[in-house]
Amino acid sequence: MKLNRLLSSSEPTLSFEVFPPKTSDTYASVADAALRVADLRPHFMSVTCGAGGTTDRFTNDIASHIIRDKGVTAIEHITCVSARRESLQAHLDAVQEAGVENVLALRGDLPEGYDPDAHHDFRHASELITYIRANSELCIGGACYPEGHPESPDVKTDIDYIYEKQQAGCEFVTTQMFFDNNILYKYLYKLRSRGVTIPVVAGIMPVTNAAQLKRIRKLSGSHLPMKFLSMVDRFGNDPAAMRQAGVIYATEQIVDLLANGVTHIHVYSMNKPDVARQIRDSLNVILPTEAAAL
């Protein structure tokens, strides 16, 4: 199913993210985790890709398994940093042949020493979106950053580029993780004021261990509210307690989002079916997935 149909409805949706293996040795265990997440019957699942297209084949294989083996809609992430038109077209053909109808079109993080002025076919996600729109039937999503992309001078400039993505054919955007819902509410207001009308899917990261927090601090620069820091301070050294507290924190964020009219929730539960299950089960009345009706 194309996600533009699902996301333009006012019915709430719950989706989960998984990542592909880096090498074939771990393919079976990663595929198993992804299919266990699919068994939870989310509205859709997204499959990330490694920077510079390093995992494209595995991303495509995992997405195809989710669709064919479990009947769950999947979206593949595609990055364009370092990509050439010919290889991108071959990749888009493979995506569609695998039965995938949706892609999240991203620039990707710049590899160390990357020269943006060297000859690359795509510089920004909006150029990738323009290309995909013109050369495929895929439904296209993009990324957005409630706290601004780390390379942007300010949120306003960043939002101008989200508008550019929409004009290029982007049909929805998924947010970077955030831990303070007020940041998202203010961001949504600014997006809508700028004329960005496409659906926004709120990305929620359940932080279930202290190592994850270190990575988040390094990569996203997300604001961490006092309530969140107190939780990590109190439970960070106790893996079972941190896991439980992290799932509850994420679930409370989701309940607040739904109460305030945000309808599409994407959980960065990564390859942790148990975490995805706990969140799904805690929300089974207020955000039912197909499984709740079975």
Residues that bind ligand FAD (CB under 6 A): 48-49, 51, 77, 79, 104, 106-109, 124-126, 143, 149, 151-152, 158, 161, 164, 174, 176, 203
- Token pair for 146: 């409630």
Q: How far apart are CA 210 and CA 224, in angstroms?
A: 13
The DSSP bridge pattern shows strands 264-267 and 13-18 to be parallel
Active site residue 164: no
Do 162 and 191 form a contact (C-beta atoms < 8 A)?
yes
Cα angle 49, 32, 175 (rounded to 5 degrees) comes to 35
Nearest distance from residue 239's CB to ligand FAD, in Å? 27
Q: Can you tell me whether residue 146 is helix, strand or coil?
A: coil
Q: How far apart are CA 270 and CA 201, in angstroms?
A: 16
**What is the sign of the dihedral through the CA atoms of 282, 286, 291 and 293?**
positive
Q: How far apart are CA 43 and CA 255, in angstroms?
A: 17
Q: How far apart are CA 167 and CA 19, in angstroms?
A: 29
Single out the catalytic residue among 17, 76, 101, 164. 17
Among all residues, which ones are annotated catalytic?
Answer: 17
